[in-house]
Amino acid sequence: MAKQKAATSKDLQEKRSEVREEKEFESKTVELSRVTRVTKGGKRMRFRSLILIGDKKGRIGYGVAKGADVAISISKSTRKAKKNLMAIPLLNETIPYEVDAKFGAAKVLIKPAPRGAGIKAGGALRLVLELAGVPNAVGKLLGSKNKINNIKATFEALKKLRVEKIIKSEIRNTKSETNSNDSNSEVSNI
């Protein structure tokens, strides 16, 4: 009986370690920089990190935080990223329609691409689309080269995406097609 208890506790430990190993989100460190604040007593150095997290299934988040140590700033920004998660609607393995946005001096333009085209974008925009799981899209960063502002502009553009707009327009198109088909059939019957 003691052997059975020992075996079950080992099994539980293995299951716990497997649960810890499985990560819900993949994370990337986009920027890690040393920042300094000048005070009366001298300079105070800290670290600022920008982290992107995504599950490659349409959910993405970002976080920016400062800490006295690199590990502290990364953990703080990861926690912030998990709080700022958003879902991206996908239609036919791409975004539903063209969107653009501006944040500060950074401007972003994202367009849908045909199946098999891949992601044609650079810098921070490419990282966001890859971690979000968008397989096909074309993007352009205009204006600023600041990574933080580029990511914020990308998130503003992605927030504009709504699937309801596409569905409503498709319903209108199908109704107009059926109405035109009905009128054509009435004409042919006369």
Architecture (CATH level 2) of domain 88-175: 2-Layer Sandwich (3.30)
Query: Would you state the structure tokens that stand for residue 52, as one six-digit string?
Result: 């992107």
- Cβ-based neighbours of 39, under 8 Å, separated by 6 or more: none
* Mean pLDDT for all residues in the chain: 82
State yes or no: pLDDT of 177 exceeds 90. Answer: no
| CA atoms of 166 and 35, how far apart (whole Å) | 44
Per DSSP, what are the bridge partners of residue 47? 34, 67
| CA atoms of 124 and 52, how far apart (whole Å) | 10
| CA atoms of 98 and 158, how far apart (whole Å) | 10
pLDDT, greater one: 8 or 54: 54
Q: How many Å is the Cα radius of gyration of the chain?
A: 24
CATH assignment of 1-87?
3.30.160.20
Q: Which ranges of 29-162 does DSSP label H, i.e. alpha helix?
A: 70-83, 123-132, 147-159
Domain ranges of the chain: 1-87, 88-175
Q: Can you give the pLDDT at residue 43? A: 92
| CA atoms of 164 and 21, how far apart (whole Å) | 37
Residue-wise pLDDT for 28-65, tens only, equals: 999 999 999 999 989 999 999 999 999 988 899 999 99
